[in-house]
Amino acid sequence: MLVTLKEILEIAEKKKIAIGSFNASGLEAIEAELAAAEELQLPIIIQFAQCHEPWVPLDTIGPIMVHMAKRASIPVCVHLDHGETLEYLAKALEIGFTGIMYDGSVLSYEENLANTKKAVAMARKYGAGVEAELGSMGRRESGSGDHSGEEDETKIYTDSEQASSFVTATGIDALACSFGTTHGIYLCEPRLDFDVVRNVRRKCGNIPIVMHGGSGVSTEDYHKAVEAGVRKINYFTYMDKAGGNAVADYLAKQEKKEPIFFSSMYMVAREAMKENVQSAMQTFALVK
Give catalytic residue positions. 81
Whether 83 and 50 have beta carbons less than 8 Å apart is answered as yes
Please tell me the total number of residues recorded for the chain in this structure: 288
Nearest-angstrom CA–CA distance, 261 and 225: 42
